[in-house]
Chains A and B, each alone.
Chain A
Amino acid sequence: MLPAEFGSLEPFSDWILATEPERYAKRLASAMDQMQAFYDAAFPLLEPALAHLDKFPLHELPEPERNLFHLMQSLVMVSFPVEVWKQPRVPDSGATWLDLVVEPRI
């Protein structure tokens, strides 16, 4: 599913999600140890992934590269819970929601 040199991320392929609502829902539905494991595996590969993906035009990514891109979008999504909040939800956000309704799709 992923470019060969990023094969170590295959166990996290359930984070290959094309839209923000899917990524946000998975974040809220995940336990912190799950997100921590994903982050610990993916974060060291962020720079190599950017270097690899930037060789392709953004809107013509081959399927494995597109999967890797969506995985890195999910890494961005879990970065706040892992790096800052230590919980999936934004603290003090109660029952409030803020839905993304338009985003550029890759």
Chain B
Amino acid sequence: MPHFAKPAEGSWTEHYPELGTSPVDYTDSIDPAYYEAERAAIFRKTWLNVGRVERVPRTGSYFTRELAVADTSLIIVKGRDGQIRAFHNMCRHRGNKLVWNDYPGMETSGTCRQFTCKYHAWRYGLDGQLTFIQQESEFFGVDKSAFGLKQVRCEIWAGFIFVNLDPDAQPLADYLGDLAKGLEGYPFGEMTEVFTYQAEIGSNWKLFIDAFAEFYHAPVLHQKQAVKDEADKLFNVGFEALHYDLHSPHSMISTWGGMAPPKDPNMVKPIERVLRSGLFGPWDRPDIEGLDPLPPGINPARHKSWGIDSFHFFPNFMLLIWAPGWYLTYHYWPLAVDRHLFETSLYFVPARTASERLRQEIAGVTFKEYGLQDANTLEATQSMLKSRAVTEFPLCDQEILLRHLHKTAADYVKEHADAAR
């Protein structure tokens, strides 16, 4: 008997009949040829979030983003006109990487008036225009206006910067659709205190999305993290979400999460009781506009036990809104069929006091304890999938977002292959 109402069809999965209910083939996470197809069909065709506008606060603020999955590196920069643009990080003279420090493969950021190539000092304005050629008279009539940096589509939604390598892609707002629209008005711009973590993970990029797209694992994998009685209760009850919503290619899960503040303080660790904070963040909401009422897309079931909404914007961006008034992002940047760079950032309203700052500290520290367990499990999964001893796996109703992810990726790959015929 479910604790929370399901759709009339009897399950979330059957509410979306195109998903089916049969076991899912995970060859898509170990096959190198399929990975190559994903790179072309997905990562060169869809909108990819590369960060927040707060990373480029002033004219000339820039950062680079390595996109190994598309064999390129991008510069994201704020121009004199206030517009944020993205360019391939490549000098037009002989292809040297334009912006980097010490190690060409490492990302960098800063503020500048123009970009100067380390190799032959060709210079580019913040709008990408070529402005200076060293010993220009030695060249054979190079038209500077035709040799600007190669621009990449770059659009902003709610302060999130997205790029798209496909010049013919639909506008960002159309791509993100209704799920994103329902979040507009959330005070992301007030939450500028950032903690960012990175890890290189020995698994296919989809496997980590799988891990964070379901909470079915939480009472089991993380049971040692709660005090004993609470862990036993969670384990026996299992997990059910409040609500799921699919707007292909994107999706969301809405869940309870009653630990902020906990009903009984004895449910949490001693230090959490003193600090009034933990995995679910500081227990007391920050005093800012925009959190009450929340935008309509958040807590869509309007449930009083609501704790977290987790949005997956295809392909590799997840956005988690937490009831106590902060948010978190996940990015999964593929490096190979069995390797990806995982990035997560926690965003809080800036602390004014030591207490507020330590409440963020314990949220970050706790996140890392959980994240390490999640990440290590993935390598164990990848290594066994590779054996191909079993290739099809039964997914339950609480794993609907996984079923949707693997189907969506397959649809993109198929559509791309069909178009090439």
Task: Give A residues with C-beta under 8 Å from B.
Answer: 20, 43, 46-47, 49-50, 53-54, 56-58, 61, 69, 72-73, 75-77, 79-80, 83-85, 90-104, 106
Contacts and interface: CB of A to CB of B under 8 A. Distances in A.
B196 interface: yes
Contact of A79 (B194, B201, B269): B269
Nearest to B367: A98
A30 B139 CA distance: 62
Nearest to B360: A104
Contacts of B269: 79, 83-84
A77 B271 CA distance: 11
A48 B50 CA distance: 42
Q: Which 9 A-B pairs have the closest CB atoms?
A: A53-B354, A102-B196, A93-B372, A96-B376, A79-B271, A98-B199, A90-B372, A54-B353, A94-B376
B352 A57 contact: yes
Contacts of B195: 100, 102-104
A94 to B, nearest CB: 5
A39 to B, nearest CB: 9
Given A101-B196, A104-B195, A83 B271 contact: yes
A20 B365 CA distance: 9
Interface of B: 193-199, 201, 221, 224-225, 269-271, 274-275, 342, 345, 350-358, 360-362, 364-366, 368-369, 371-373, 375-377, 379
A90 B1 CA distance: 35
A92 B369 CA distance: 10
Contacts of A56: 354
A99 B271 contact: no
B358 A72 contact: yes
Contact of B355 (A50, A57, A101): A50
A85 to B, nearest CB: 8
